[in-house]
């Protein structure tokens, strides 16, 4: 797996020029009187921090906002995202309201380290493990059946959860302070995704408490999404940064998107990248995936062989939690080489596929 790349945090100096004659004439991109360098009051109810100037203060302010149940905007390795505490149903609802989006399109969850994945999902097929090892951190979102013990309410997820580790140093630093965040593209639902903080701010305004400006992101192409809830080899739900060919090298049975009809119209510019990242619900056991303190140890990289990887995972009735069960139906059994008992329970109805493709 490649090293985590540093985010592009350099931004043009927008603070040159004479001071305004009065507050009414103050340019919106200048710091308010009395504000710290690198921080500017961008509106009556939200703040914007330049990560290049005041990174630690910015992360602390974002952490406070998340703990207060408010929304933040952060850069990722694809587009800007709007984030909220994944374990707070009111906070997630604020995120959905800010995007003017319903519960039928729940957000995915971003985590700081691959090692946190088994605490969130019922089981990890071998093909998914291979993808995690090669492409995380990176622009690959994976959908699994959620841990039955989780108490997250991300929306109408049908007992599933979409997870990603972003390849952005600032985003991961924040996630180590906050724990898992529900994150979707920082835009109004149906609008093009924001690749700079100004576009996100223009769309979301005071529905967000803290904006973290890390400069332009690599978007607008979003992450590739692979669903492991029906096929242990995976099925692509959205083509993004990571190609089908690259993923198929790790999973020979991976299903691709169907070929578009010959007369199908091309999506408008920005439309494909603006597909909403609807994802499954979930929550990790609070004791397993609690918020990490700023000075706490970082989890190890990789997906460990934990109870949810190598032992029978708890049944995840759709859409609520359930009890441990026996074996998996034929279409969800892992490959022969997978650890026994790593498949979902026998006779379970297929999960309610109530999620759409995420955008982050």
pLDDT digit string (tens) for 261-297? 665 554 433 323 333 443 333 333 332 333 333 333 3
Average pLDDT for residues 300-312, to the nearest whole number? Answer: 43
Structural domain boundaries in the chain: 35-124+145-220+278-295+311-327
- pLDDT by residue (tens digit) across 250-266? 999 999 998 876 655 54
One-character DSSP codes across 80-127:
-EEEEETT-HHHHHHHHHHHT--TTS---EE-S-GGGGGGTBS---HH
Which pLDDT value is given to residue 261? 66
- pLDDT by residue (tens digit) across 176-203? 999 999 999 999 999 999 999 999 999 9
Average pLDDT for residues 332-353, to the nearest whole number? Answer: 39
Higher pLDDT, 227 or 318: 227
Cα–Cα dist 98/106, whole Å:
13
Homologous superfamily (CATH) for 35-124+145-220+278-295+311-327? DHBP synthase (3.90.870.10)
- pLDDT by residue (tens digit) across 49-80? 999 999 999 999 999 999 999 999 999 999 99
Higher pLDDT, 133 or 33: 133
User: What's the sign of the alpha-carbon dihedral 290, 295, 297, 298?
Assistant: positive
Is residue 98 exposed (0-12), middle (13-18) or buried (19+ Cβ within 10 Å)? buried
Binned at pLDDT 50, 70 and 90, residue 45 comes out as confident
Over pLDDT 90: what percentage of the chain? 57
- pLDDT by residue (tens digit) across 147-169? 989 888 999 999 999 999 999 99
List CB contacts of 328: < 8 A, sequence separation 6 or more: 334, 343, 344, 345, 346, 348
| 346 pLDDT higher than 50 | no
| 343 pLDDT higher than 80 | no
The DSSP call for residue 146 is: B
Which pLDDT value is given to residue 243? 97
Which pLDDT value is given to residue 265? 55
Binned at pLDDT 50, 70 and 90, residue 304 comes out as low
> What backbone phi and psi angles, to 5 degrees, belong to 197?
-65, -30
Cis peptide leading into residue 283 (ω within 30°): no
| 3 pLDDT higher than 70 | no
| 5 pLDDT higher than 60 | no
Total residues found in the chain within this entry: 360
How many Cα neighbours within 13 Å face the side chain of 299? 25
Higher pLDDT, 314 or 258: 258
């Amino acid at each position: 797996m490649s090293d985590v790349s540093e985010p592009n945090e350099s931004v043009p100096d927008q603070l040159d020029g004479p001071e305004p004659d009065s507050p009414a004439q103050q340019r919106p991109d200048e710091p308010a009187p009395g504000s710290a360098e690198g921080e500017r009051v961008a509106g009556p109810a939200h703040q914007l921090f330049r990560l290049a100037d005041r990174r630690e203060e910015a992360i602390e302010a974002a952490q406070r906002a998340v703990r207060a149940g408010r929304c933040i905007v952060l850069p990722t390795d694809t587009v800007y995202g709007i984030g909220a505490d994944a374990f707070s149903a009111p906070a997630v609802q604020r995120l959905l309201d800010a995007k003017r989006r319903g519960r039928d399109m729940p957000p995915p969850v971003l985590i700081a380290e691959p090692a946190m994945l088994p605490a969130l999902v019922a089981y990890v097929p071998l093909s998914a493990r291979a993808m995690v090892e090669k492409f995380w951190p990176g622009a690959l979102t994976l959908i699994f059946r959620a841990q039955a013990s989780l108490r997250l309410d991300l929306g109408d997820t049908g007992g599933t959860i979409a997870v990603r580790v972003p390849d952005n140093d600032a985003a991961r630093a924040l996630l180590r302070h906050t724990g898992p965040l529900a994150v979707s593209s920082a835009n109004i639902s149906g609008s093009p995704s924001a690749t700079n903080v100004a576009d996100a701010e223009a769309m979301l305004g005071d529905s967000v408490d803290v904006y973290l400006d890390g400069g332009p992101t690599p978007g607008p192409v979003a992450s590739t999404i692979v669903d492991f809830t029906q096929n242990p080899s995976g099925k692509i739900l959205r083509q993004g940064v990571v190609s089908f060919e690259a993923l198929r090298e790790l999973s020979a049975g991976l299903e691709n998107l169907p070929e578009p009809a010959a007369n199908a119209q091309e999506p408008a510019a920005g439309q494909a990248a603006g597909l909403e990242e609807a994802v499954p619900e979930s929550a990790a056991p609070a004791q397993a995936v609690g918020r990490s303190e700023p000075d706490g140890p970082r989890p190890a990289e990789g997906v460990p062989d934990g109870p949810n990887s190598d032992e029978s995972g708890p049944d995840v009735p759709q859409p609520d939690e359930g009890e441990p069960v026996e074996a998996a139906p034929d279409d969800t059994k892992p490959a022969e080489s997978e650890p026994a008992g790593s498949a979902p329970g026998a006779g379970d109805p297929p999960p309610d596929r109530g999620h759409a493709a995420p955008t982050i």
